[in-house]
Amino acid sequence: MIQDSHTDFSLGEVRVSMTPQERFDEYLQSKGKRTTSQRRVLVDHVFSRHEHFDADELIDQLNRKARGADRVSRATVYRALDELVEAGLLRKMSLGSRSVYEHDYGYPQHDHLHCTECDELIEFRSDELLALREAVARGYGFRVTGHRLTISGVCRACAEKRHRKISPLDLI
């Protein structure tokens, strides 16, 4: 990412008191549900790395690693994703006809740039944007509890693919 020396769009850190697995166990217990081995495998996998993913990608990744009885069914994945969103562990975003998930628990407020060509999501945080949000809310007497901003456009790599170098033949 290219930035000038006065701008930092990094997300920073948020400290949490429980692991995602402990937090999910607590949520399930509050709903009278039990923690199954499939749910445990799913949570461990999702929180072992930070990436945006859809349900089909998660199913493929889980079943590539699993054998026989350890495989996670499509229905279990969809149900667990809904539970993880409801528990505040994941955030679900709609990008056109595709639903994408990302970490929410232990992750700071941030926004996204979405490339409509390659579907890449770029995360960023802007103090200026937060200040504008607060100023607008103050002007309306509005109490902010959060926001989501996704800016659609074309990333640098896709833009460069679109524009080829001028050939001497173009000048004829």
DSSP 88-129: TSEEEEEETTEEEEEE-TT----EEEEETTT--EEEE--HHH
The answer on 90 and 22 residing in a single domain is yes
Domain carrying residue 154: 108-172
Among the three residues 107, 136, 161, which one is the final residue of a domain in this structure? 107
The answer on 99 and 121 residing in a single domain is no
pTM above 0.85, yes or no: no
User: Is the residue at 11 inside a domain?
Assistant: no
147 annotated as belonging to a binding site for a ligand? yes
Say how many domains are in the chain. 2
Asked if pLDDT for residue 169 goes beyond 90, the answer is: no
The answer on 171 and 114 residing in a single domain is yes
Distance set, CA 165 to CA 86, 154, 156 (Å): 49, 18, 15
Asked if pLDDT for residue 9 goes beyond 60, the answer is: no
Residues 6 or more apart whose CB falls under 8 angstroms from that of 98 comprise 54, 119
Helices (H) and strands (E) in the chain, counts: 6, 5
155 annotated as belonging to a binding site for a ligand? yes
54 annotated as belonging to a binding site for a ligand? no
6 annotated as belonging to a binding site for a ligand? no
The answer on 113 and 100 residing in a single domain is no
Average pLDDT, the chain: 86
Rounded CA gap, 167 and 3, in Å?
31
pLDDT category at 63 given cuts 50, 70, 90 is: confident
The answer on 135 and 88 residing in a single domain is no
